[in-house]
Amino acid sequence: MPVMPYRARLSLPRLITLTLLMLMLAGCAGKELAVEDPPPQEGLSIDRVLILAEAERALGTPYRFGGNTPAGVDCSGLVQLAYRAAGISVPRTAHAQFRALPEVGRARPGDLLFFDTSGGGKANHVGIYRGDGQMIHAPGRGRRVETTPVELAYWQERFLGAAAPAP
């Protein structure tokens, strides 16, 4: 008896079930994490330059729950620290920031990216879009502020939205 290729052994009911499952999983995806890097000739506002400079200065800062100073930050504390450098006040927690700040469809450098990392349906993590597909964030206990690519499946699957509190 010849061995048939695997795809030939799929029955019609199994194929339909598999297709429906894939469609359901695709429907569970959140918003698309869309970013926009302005051309160099357009530049960034001075506020965005200050925010990004402070966030980059924080790279390597230890994670500290509730922290929002150069001695230690959590994710929303990093946002407060960076935005404070531009004279912009933002709420304390990622959830409060997500609810209060103006949403945008495409993130530009200096904008905030919000994520649901616990599966509870609310923003519990935030990062600052750096540009070139990277965000700066405070990842958690025992780690330090770092950059990470936003195109990673982990972030794409947990993305809730972006906000632009800076002009």
Q: Is the pLDDT of residue 8 over 70?
A: no
Question: What stretch of H or E contains 135?
Answer: strand 134-137
Q: Identify the pLDDT of residue 12.
A: 47
Given the residues 125, 159, 160, 162, the one annotated as active site:
125
In the chain, % helix, strand, coil (3-state, to 5) comes to 35, 20, 45
Given the residues 48, 95, 130, 137, the one annotated as active site:
137
Domain ranges of the chain: 32-163
User: Crossing angle of helices 75-84/46-57, nearest 10°?
Assistant: 130
With contact defined as beta carbons under 8 Å apart, do 101 and 107 qualify? no
Q: What is the spatial distance between Cα 129 and Cα 142, in angstroms, rounded to a whole number?
A: 22
pLDDT cut 90: percent of the chain above it: 73
Nearest partner of 80 among 105, 107, 58, 103, judged by Cα: 58
For residues 32 and 45, which has the higher predicted lDDT (pLDDT)? Answer: 45
Q: Is the pLDDT of residue 1 over 60?
A: no
Is residue 95 annotated as a catalytic residue, yes or no?
Answer: no
Q: Is the pLDDT of residue 23 over 50?
A: no
Q: What is the spatial distance between Cα 9 and Cα 121, in angstroms, rounded to a whole number?
A: 39
- Count CB atoms within 10 A of the CB of residue 164: 18
- Grade residue 72 by pLDDT with cuts at 50, 70 and 90: very high
DSSP letter assigned to residue 47: H
Given the residues 75, 126, 128, 136, the one annotated as active site:
75
Q: Which fold has domain 32-163?
A: endopeptidase fold (from Nostoc punctiforme) (3.90.1720)
- Grade residue 163 by pLDDT with cuts at 50, 70 and 90: very high
Q: What is the spatial distance between Cα 139 and Cα 74, in angstroms, rounded to a whole number?
A: 8
Nearest partner of 72 among 82, 62, 86, judged by Cα: 62
Q: Is the pLDDT of residue 40 over 80?
A: no
Nearest partner of 157 among 29, 21, 15, judged by Cα: 29
- Grade residue 39 by pLDDT with cuts at 50, 70 and 90: low
Q: What is the spatial distance between Cα 126 and Cα 73, in angstroms, rounded to a whole number?
A: 12
Average of per-residue pLDDT across 131-154: 97
Which pLDDT tens digit goes with each residue over 80-120? Answer: 999 999 999 999 999 999 999 999 999 999 999 999 999 99
- Grade residue 26 by pLDDT with cuts at 50, 70 and 90: very low
pLDDT cut 70: percent of the chain above it: 80
